[in-house]
Amino acid sequence: MSITIDVPKNIDSILDQRSREEHLDKVSALQQILWEGAESYLVNQYSSGKISKGKLAELLDLDIYEVNELLEEHHVKVSISYERFTRGIAIAEKSS
């Protein structure tokens, strides 16, 4: 997909700095920043209960283990309800 935008001067300065530091062209630096922003947005959506962990994994094209690592990196505690926990134990016991 291609989108044309006007980049504010302060963002352009940030792109210049990141390009130099990471030895990237400005387009690649901007793509990285956009991806990081999208990732952060989706983690916040998960954290506030607006999307599920499965949806987070789907949108970021990650497996569940990678999602757990990402949530840990963003200091989001992963919790499940007592009901889901006990249901998981029951399923595990049946399959043993």
Give the tokens for residue 37: 């922003």
Is the whole model's pTM more than 0.95, yes or no?
no
Give the tokens for residue 43: 């983690």
What's the pLDDT at 55?
95
What does the pLDDT look like over 19-45, one tens digit per residue?
A: 999 999 999 999 999 999 999 999 999
What does the pLDDT look like over 51-80, one tens digit per residue?
A: 999 999 999 999 999 999 999 999 998 766
| C-beta separation of 30 from 15 below 8 A | yes
